[in-house]
Amino acid sequence: MKRPHVLASAAVSIDGFLDDDTPTRLVLSGPADLDRVDAERAGVDAILVGAGTVRADDPRLLVRSPRRRADRVARGLGPSPLRVVLSAGALDPRARVFAEGRELADTVVVAGTPDEVLGRLAEHGVVRLMVEGGAAVHRDFLAAGVVDELQLAVAPRLVGAGPRFTGAPGHAHLLETRRVGGDVLLRYRLGDADERWLAEACTLAERCPPSPSAFSVGCVVVAEDGTVLATGYSRRDHVLDHAEEAALRDVDPADPRLPGATMYTSLEPCGQRASRPVTCAQHILDAGIGRVVMAWREPPTFVGVPSGAARLADAGVTVVERPELTDLARRPNRHR
Ligand SMILES: NC(=O)c1ccc[n+]([C@@H]2O[C@H](COP(=O)([O-])OP(=O)(O)OC[C@H]3O[C@@H](n4cnc5c(N)ncnc54)[C@H](OP(=O)(O)O)[C@@H]3O)[C@@H](O)[C@H]2O)c1
Ligand SMILES: [Zn+2]
């Protein structure tokens, strides 16, 4: 079944709490992390919280930064993502998620299992969903195995009592640790290895400087032992850059891990191009990479010329397609 890519995001105390046990709202994140979360909100199609969070915190769930809202509008999106409240009960219509910011975003109330809710959101065009809590919603989404990326901001405080961040037993792959003001961001990916790296490549594509005519593509090169050898995205260093060549620029051609490495790319590598003499398929062959996993295959633009994937396969490279990630790969290419 089709479902959105799910980014679960939470701020926790050092001792793992999401809130304290008082009725007032506890804001765990510092200003730098709140701004980081604002940027993540700007990058999704919808933000979901449980009714418990609406009742306890009364959030607005809007993109705060006017610049980020303007950026979204320039990309053909609404100023702020759709707001989704998970509830089977009664909600106060005066809650800010309903009463405020209606000119910036719609709000819908949904009920059902995580799978059902995600299926319905996908039907309504939600490709990237951010789940912001609270405790019950995080637990249920993690237990349902539908979380693709998890971002935890650990705030420098101890809380002692209150709702905790809880999941279900399982493993996650640590992608990044970053200091954000006084907080620490931990970024994880879940799912099988191909799925998580390909989703990461699609996420990198969201960083591409916009172009009215060229594709926005993301690329990650991963060694057999899971080490990231390089990442790239379209127009990263130069307006003509393709994601794959930007990534391969950062790789030492003598690196012995290349034959065992996999390149994850949101779009099929080009087998023909007008902008530069060397195609990405050729760059991949020159680097000696043994395996390529891609999310989206475009119909060939140059009739009679073998596609990049065909060139790679002919040369003995293992080529894998994961069509369930095509929508995610297409998202930064909405104009196409
Ligand atoms: N630190 C953070 O990042 C962060 C973020 C968000 C929230 N929080 C904290 O988390 C706490 C709230 O968490 P919580 O566990 O109490 O509530 P919650 O997870 O926000 O919401 C739980 C509610 O969601 C609704 N719901 C859940 N699954 C559903 C389903 N399958 N179908 C229909 N409705 C469903 C139910 O609402 P109904 O009763 O309406 O049916 C349920 O009571 C607050 O203390 C808040 O401060 C912290
Ligand atoms: Zn290319």
Give all domains of the chain, ordered by start, each with its CATH number: 5-190 (3.40.430.10), 195-333 (3.40.140.10)
Residue 279 Cα to ligand 2 midpoint, Å, equals 5
Query: What gap in Å lies between CA 224 and CA 23, rounded to an integer?
Result: 49
Model confidence at 302: pLDDT above 70:
no
Q: Which ligand is nearest to the CA of 217?
A: 2
Model confidence at 124: pLDDT above 80:
yes
Model confidence at 73: pLDDT above 90:
yes
**What does the pLDDT read at residue 336?**
62
Tell me which of 179 and 212 has the higher pLDDT: 179
Q: Which ligand is nearest to the CA of 34?
A: 1
| pLDDT band at residue 12 under the 50/70/90 scheme | very high
* DSSP string for residues in 170-231: ---EEEEEEEETTEEEEEEE-S-HHHHHHHHHHHHHTTSPP-SSS---EEEEE-TTS-EEEE
Model confidence at 63: pLDDT above 90:
yes
- Span 61-80, mean pLDDT? 96
**What does the pLDDT read at residue 212?**
85
**What does the pLDDT read at residue 334?**
80
| pLDDT band at residue 15 under the 50/70/90 scheme | very high
Model confidence at 1: pLDDT above 80:
no
**What does the pLDDT read at residue 298?**
78
Give the β-pairing of 46-50 and 128-131: parallel
The answer to whether residues 100 and 75 touch, using CB atoms and an 8 Å cutoff, is: no
154-187 as b/e: b if 16+ CB within 10 A: bbebebeebbbbebeeeebeebeeeebbebbbbb
Residue 176 Cα to ligand 1 midpoint, Å, equals 27
**What does the pLDDT read at residue 75?**
87
The answer to whether residues 164 and 16 touch, using CB atoms and an 8 Å cutoff, is: yes
Which residue's structure tokens are 């705030």? 155
Residue 321 Cα to ligand 2 midpoint, Å, equals 17
Which residue's structure tokens are 């306890």? 56
**What does the pLDDT read at residue 108?**
98
Tell me which of 306 and 257 has the higher pLDDT: 257
Query: What gap in Å lies between CA 143 and CA 100, rounded to an integer?
Result: 32
Nearest atom in ligand 1 to 137's CA: 19
Least confident residue range of 96-100, 119-123, 150-154, 301-305: 301-305
Q: What is the mean pLDDT of the chain?
A: 95
pLDDT single digits (tens) 246-274: 999 999 999 999 999 999 999 999 999 98
Output the residue whose Cα is nearest ligand 1's atom 35.
Answer: 87
- Span 299-306, mean pLDDT? 71
**What does the pLDDT read at residue 303?**
66
Stated as kind and residue range, the H or E segment containing 35 is helix 31-42
Percent share of the chain, pLDDT over 70: 98
**What does the pLDDT read at residue 335?**
67
Residue 246 Cα to ligand 2 midpoint, Å, equals 10
| pLDDT band at residue 162 under the 50/70/90 scheme | very high
Which residues, by Cβ under 5 Å, contact ligand 2, an ion? 242, 270, 280
- For ligand 1, pick from 9, 12, 18 the residue to mutate: most ligand atoms within 8 Å of CB: 18
- Span 1-5, mean pLDDT? 90
Percent share of the chain, pLDDT over 90: 91
| pLDDT band at residue 301 under the 50/70/90 scheme | low
